[in-house]
Amino acid sequence: MKLVTKIFIIILAISFSSCDISQTKEMELPEIEGGQMPAYDVDWADVDVGTKTKMVTVPKVVVVTEEVEVEVPYVDVDIPNNGDKEEITLIAEVEVKGEMHNIDISKVYASQNNLYVISNLTATGEKLDNEGSVRISDRLILNAPDLNIKHFIIGKRPNGDHNNQYKYISSVENINDKISKAKLIYNN
């Protein structure tokens, strides 16, 4: 029986070789009426658990779009002595969170080689899921010579990097200096 006990202690010692073990009770072999197992205090490795900030790649939800046939406004512009025309699609697109919005291309002005596209961004009052965002857009097809296109959106800029591609203004009066001598070529 002592051999079995020694083997048991050796196995314990090998398995806890990275530990500091102190025996707190002497072993006593069991008798028919009872016995006593040895007791040990085990000092294990000190482990700290917490969090750390790291840059990781996480999956993003991708919205799948499909192509459907819809009626899109079309404007054909002739500017004298301004070369060949090409068909371009003017797009006003905004990503919104919290509350649904509508965006509408309301006016387009032409002046020399510049085209000023003015859109209105308005809240609908419909609440969106707190975690989700929605991209809204409006389109206008323009057949015109190559022009410098400037987009302005009347409304408050929603949060998000996607919404930095346009200039947001509180009213059309903010750009009167640009459009006062321009010709209105589209009015929705």
Residue 23 is assigned to a structural domain of this protein: yes
Question: pLDDT for 91-134, tens place per residue?
Answer: 899 999 888 899 999 998 888 788 899 999 999 988 887 677 88
- Based on the fold, state whether residues 85 and 157 are members of the same structural domain: yes
Residue 81 is assigned to a structural domain of this protein: yes
Is the pTM higher than 0.85? The answer reads no
How many CA atoms, within 13 angstroms, populate the side-chain half-sphere of residue 127? 3
Range of the domain at 26: 2-43
The residue assigned the tokens 């400037």 is 150
Digits of tens for pLDDT over the chain (188 positions)? 566 677 667 766 666 555 566 777 777 766 666 667 777 666 655 555 555 666 766 656 666 677 878 776 766 766 655 567 778 888 899 999 888 899 999 998 888 788 899 999 999 988 887 677 888 988 888 877 778 899 999 999 988 778 888 999 999 999 999 888 888 888 88
Residue 13 is assigned to a structural domain of this protein: yes
- Based on the fold, state whether residues 11 and 104 are members of the same structural domain: no
Q: Count how many domains the chain has.
A: 2
DSSP state, residue 113: T
Instruction: Give the DSSP letter string of 117-134.
Output: EEEEEEEEEEE--TT-EE
Q: How many residues does the chain have?
A: 188
- Based on the fold, state whether residues 107 and 179 are members of the same structural domain: yes
Determine what percent of the chain falls in helix, strand and coil, rounding each to the nearest 5: 15, 45, 45
**Measured distance CA(178)–CA(175) in Å, rounded:** 5
- Based on the fold, state whether residues 30 and 112 are members of the same structural domain: no
